[in-house]
Amino acid sequence: MTITQIAYEHVICDPAECTGCRICEYVCSANKHNVFDANLSRIRVVRIEPVTMTAITCRLCADAPCILACPRDALTRSEENGIILVDDTKCDGCGWCVEACDFGAIVLNPSSRLAEICDLCADNEDGPQCVVYCPKEALSLATPEVLRQKSRRKVVQRLFEELMDNE
């Protein structure tokens, strides 16, 4: 088994903050296809039970299995920001990339039947629109390392707050 390295910034959801509203799905499909249609959204909210949920989209794996899986070499990586680019002239909708992705992050557009993958809203200067619209700031554009740093800061902050309270 190859080790999945995650090095690029991608949209990460904090399950503790996600409330399952699915506004990210509406926003994604609207931006990409001009309609509201969760089936076309490249980010999906998964709610296992009432309080257990998170949103999942492309994690820009360094050793991306979807790229390797594509028999027609339709998937390549952007050198600029690491997003997975789909060449519409090569993709024939076979779905191997979908199967290869452990996160279920690749969409097969039901009408065009071609693969679609989160591109971090590369065409929008404000960045990923799901992050912009997320009411709870559960979504962020980050690398795991950056998130680790944030988590560390948060926990230490809480520790000191408690210490202050106890004085």
Partner 1 sequence: MYAYTGKILHVDMTTQAKRVQQVEPEFYKLYLGGVGLASRLAYDNVTPGADPLGPDNALCFACSAFAGTTVPVGTKHGVASKSPLTGFIGDSLSGSHWSEMMRRAGWDGLVFKGQSPHWVIVFIDDDDVRFLDATPYMGMGAVEVQGKLRDRLGDENIRISAIGPAGENLVRFASIDNDGRQVGRTGNGAVMGSKRIKAIAVRGTKPVRVADRQGLMEKSLPLIKTTQGPGTLKYRTLGTPANVLNMNAIGVLPTRNFSETVFEHAETISGEYLRDHFRVKAVSCSGCSIACEQWGVVRDGKYKGAKIGLDYEPLFAVGSNCGIGTLPPIIKLVEMADELGMDAMSAGVVISWAMECYEKGLLTKEDTGGLELNFGNDDAAVAVMEMMAHREGLGDMLAEGVKRASEKLGKGSEHFAMHSKGMELPGYDVRSLKTFAMGLAVGTRGPCHNRSLAYELDIKGVFDRFTAEPGRGPLVVENENFACVLDCLVLCKFLRNCFDDFNTEVAELYTMTTGIELTPEELAEVGDRVCNLKKAFNIREGWTRADDSLPPRAMQDPIPSGPAKGSFVSQEELDLLIDDYYQARGWTEEGMIPRAKLIELGLGDIADEIGEDAVVADAAV
Task: Return the closest-CA partner of residue 60 out of 128, 111, 149.
Answer: 128
Question: Nearest approach, Cβ of 151 to partner 1 (angstroms)?
Answer: 18
Question: Nearest approach, Cβ of 82 to partner 1 (angstroms)?
Answer: 27
**Out of 14, 33, 65, 87, which residue is the one contacting partner 1 (CB under 8 A)?**
33
* Residue 56 is a binding residue for partner 1 (CB under 8 A): no
The interface region with partner 1, picked from 34-42, 54-62, 69-77, 80-88 by CB under 8 A, is: 34-42
**Out of 14, 22, 76, 96, which residue is the one contacting partner 1 (CB under 8 A)?**
22
Contact 130, 24 (CB under 8 A): yes
Q: Smaller CB distance to partner 1: residue 71 or 104?
A: 104
Please write down the long-range contacts of 62-67, taking CB distance under 8 Å and 24 or more positions apart: 62/4, 62/5, 62/6, 62/7, 62/8, 63/2, 63/3, 63/4, 63/5, 65/2, 65/4, 65/100, 65/101, 65/102, 66/97, 66/100, 66/101, 66/106, 66/117, 67/97
Give, as ranges, the residues between 95 and 124 that touch partner 1 (CB under 8 A): 110
Contact 153, 159 (CB under 8 A): no
Task: Return the closest-CA partner of residue 32 out of 131, 151, 119.
Answer: 119
**Out of 4, 5, 39, 124, which residue is the one contacting partner 1 (CB under 8 A)?**
39
Question: Nearest approach, Cβ of 134 to partner 1 (angstroms)?
Answer: 9
* Residue 135 is a binding residue for partner 1 (CB under 8 A): yes
Q: What's the CA gap between 84 and 115, in Å, rounded? A: 11
Q: Smaller CB distance to partner 1: residue 30 or 67?
A: 30
Residues in touch with partner 1 (CB under 8 A)? 16, 19-23, 26-27, 29-30, 33-40, 50-51, 53, 110, 132-133, 135-136
